[in-house]
Structure 1
Amino acid sequence: MNPYISIIIPAYNEEDKIKDTLENIKDVSEINEILVIDDGSSDKTTEIARSVESEKIKVFTLDKNRGKGYALNYGLKIAMENATIIGFLDGDLGSTSSEVKKLITPILNNEADVIIAKFPPATKKGGLGFVKRLAKESVLEMTGKELDATLSGQRIFKREVLEKFKEMPYGYGVEVGMTIDILKYGYTIKEVLVNMTHSETGRNLKGFIHRGKQFYHIKKVLREKKKEWR
């Protein structure tokens, strides 16, 4: 039986990037459906996503902003109806979304249970590395596995992996929480270098606030995981 690949794209106020993101994955032959979950955007994300012509694309709009974890859970309930392989992609990848093919190939070749995109170095100075270091060291501490892309939201999963989760962790800690659980369950993860780019936060107030929220959410998820897996 041929695999059925569903890609879930949670999007919040991505009117500038969502069109390019969709245009550059809609013709990837291996992908069967693309689920855009507009997480209560206040801009034209839904309208622009629906303007992209493809029978694969299905757009769902949440009544208000509920966070990435909620949007992923919403999309998963739909994807699980048919999919044997499920991918998560961010809405701001733009034309680089076509790099998803580099993630799909190894999952089809059964090289691992989960494939995570490893991005090239950021083009501009971001934070001081606290969040990335926290994520990497925490995953290593709890699982014994050293991964570089623990924060990456670009992931492809075998269906059986996601069936182990009643729901995705919420908040900015979703990727770290999932990574720990996946490894603890005994599944394998492979990181693949891609030439993807997305919106970067700089060393300004907005950037530091974002990273502060990330740090807080990751710490919260880590406390929960230590209780669950002790």
Structure 2
Amino acid sequence: MKPYISIIIPAYNEENKIKDTLEGIIGINEINEVVVVDDGSSDNTAQIASQVKSEKVKVFKLDKNSGKGYALNYGLKISMKNADIIGFLDGDLGSCSSEVKKLIEPILKEDADVIIAKFPPAKKKGGLGFVKGLAKDSVLQMTGVELDATLSGQRLFKKEVLEKFKEMPYGYGVEVGMTIDILKYGYKIKEVLVNMTHSETGRDLKGFIHRGKQYYHIKKVLRQKKKEWR
């Protein structure tokens, strides 16, 4: 019997990308369900997602913007009912969402318990790499495992891994915190190179503010994890 695969897509104001993101994955035979959680968008994200013609797609709209972690937890309540494998994908991937096929194959082959998408290098200069460096070095320091894509939100999990978590962590440190916990629990993570791109933050004020928040949230999560895994 084939594993039931559910993909959760948290989306906030992605009316320009959500249609292409969904159409990139609905034709993948291994995927049984796509749960779109509109995180209180002020645009037409939910409406456009609902117009995609596929029985796989289920769209839920939250009353207010509560953040990616909240949206993922909401989606998990739905996906965990039937799924054997659960994936997280961002809503701004566009048609390159089809690259998720490269993550599905190794998890079906039991190569690892969690598969993380490793993106090609960014096309435009963003920050100074300090956020990525902090995440990578911290995971290595705490687990002894060196990973390049610790910040990647494109992931596939065996259900049993997610059952270890009462809920997803909140804030920008969600991926780093989960990665540390997963490795500490003894599960295997594999990174797979994909040809994916999504909205990149630049070297403008907005970009630096975003990276500052990331850095703060990651440091906060790390302090918490060091206490938990003494």
Measured against the shorter chain, the TM-score band is: over 0.9
1:229 is matched with which residue? 229
**How far is the alpha carbon of 1:2 from its aligned partner?**
1.6
- The aligned residue for residue 146 of structure 1 is 146
Superposed CA deviations along residues 169-202 of structure 1, whole A, max 9, x for unmatched, are 1001000000000000000000000000000000
Give 1:96 deviation, angstroms.
Answer: 0.3
CA distance in structure 2 between the aligned counterparts of 1:42 and 1:102, rounded to whole angstroms: 33
Q: Distance in 2 between matches of 1:161 and 1:55?
A: 27
Instruction: Give the corresponding residue for 1:178.
Output: 178
**2:211 — aligned with what?**
211
Alpha-carbon distance in structure 1 between the residues aligned to 2:86 and 2:62: 21
**CA positional deviation for 1:146:** 0.3
Matched residues in 1 for 2:149 and 2:119: separation?
8
Map of 1:13 onto structure 2: 13
One-letter code of the match for 1:130?
Answer: F
Distance in structure 2 (CA, Å) of the matches to 1:119 and 1:82: 29
Alpha-carbon separation, structure 2, partners of 1:45 and 1:175: 24
Counterpart mapping for 1:98-177 below 5 A: 98-177=98-177
The amino acid of 2:55's aligned partner reads E
Report what 1:69 is aligned to. Answer: 69
Q: What is the TM-score with the length of structure 2 in the denominator?
A: 0.99
* 3-state SS in 2 of match to 1:134: helix
Instruction: Find the residue that maps to 1:197 and give its secondary structure.
Output: coil
Where does residue 44 of structure 2 map in the other structure? 44
**Aligned equivalents of 1:5, 1:220: Cα separation in 2:** 32
**Structure 1: runs of 5+ lacking an equivalent:** none
* d(CA) in 2 for partners of 1:48, 1:123: 28
DSSP 3-state at the match of 1:192? strand
1:42 maps to a residue whose letter is S
Tell me the secondary structure at the aligned position of residue 10 of structure 1: strand
- Alpha-carbon distance in structure 2 between the residues aligned to 1:50 and 1:126: 33
* 1:117 partner amino acid: A
| CA deviations over 1:71-98 (Å, ceiling 9, x no partner) | 1111011101000000000000001000
AA partner of residue 196 (structure 1): M
Q: Distance in 2 between matches of 1:84 and 1:65?
A: 29
Q: Report Cα offsets for 1:130-180 as digits up to 9, x if no partner.
A: 100000000000000000000000000000000000011100100000000
Distance across 2 between alignment mates of 1:83 and 1:44: 28
> Which residue identity is paired with 2:179?
T
Kindly provide the CA deviation profile for residues 46-74 of structure 1, in whole angstroms up to 9, marking residues without a partner as x: 01111111000000011111111111111
CA distance in 2, matches of 1:40, 1:214: 21
TM-score by length of 1: 0.99
Question: What's the C-alpha RMSD, in Å, of the aligned pairs?
Answer: 0.5
Of all paired residues, the percent bearing the same amino acid is 83
Alignment partner, residue 26 of structure 1: 26
CA distance in 2, matches of 1:108, 1:95: 23
- Aligned to 1:33, the other structure's residue is in SS state strand
1:99-143 Cα deviation digits (max 9, x unpaired)? 000000000000000000000000000000110000000000000
